[in-house]
Amino acid sequence: MTTPSAHRSVSLVRDSAGRFTATNARGGTLAFGSGSDDDFTPVELLLTAIAGCSAIDVDILTTRRSEPSSFEVTAGGDKLRDDQGNHMGPITVTFEVTFPEGEDGDKARAVLPDAARQSHERLCTVSRTVMLPTEVTTTVKDA
């Protein structure tokens, strides 16, 4: 069940050939493109969203116990082109997180695997959406 406050959206504006700016409801902007320059591509943004969503979940669950000494998350997979069209193959999200020595660090290390599992299995909206059958509809408004 959704409520009006649950609705999320972004709008895109074409800046030039292969370059766009996305704007969220709060006014934040993000430039992206087709990969002809340094800007992120849509596939890289998808990987960023998956890794970022899980990183936020894991950060919240572990830092209740200890601030990490280092925190790095990578997401990657192969872009495929086959009879199903263009799509990503299996995506792997890898956490490399260290905590300081001591009781609080030990507590954070102990919950890290469960925090990553909880994010993957139920908390991360982005990866859960990708994993579940999610209908995407495209429409064109009359000009």
Is the per-residue pLDDT at 20 higher than 90?
A: yes
Rounded CA-CA distance 135/143 in Å is 25
Name the residue ranges covered by the structural domains of the chain: 10-40, 41-131
pLDDT of residue 4: 62
Q: What is the pLDDT of residues 69-125, one digit of tens each?
A: 999 999 999 999 999 999 999 999 999 999 999 999 999 999 999 999 999 999 999
Q: What is the pLDDT of residues 51-70, one digit of tens each?
A: 999 999 999 999 999 999 99
pLDDT of residue 3: 64
Q: What is the pLDDT of residues 21-47, one digit of tens each?
A: 999 999 999 999 999 999 999 999 999
How many helices and strands in the chain, by DSSP H and E?
3, 7
Helices 42-62, 103-118: crossing angle, 10 deg rounding: 140
Instruction: Note the pTM of the prediction, 2 decimals.
Output: 0.91
- Domain 41-131 classified CATH 3.30.300.20? yes
Which amino acid type is present at position 51? A
29: β partners: 23
What is residue 18's three-state secondary structure?
Answer: coil
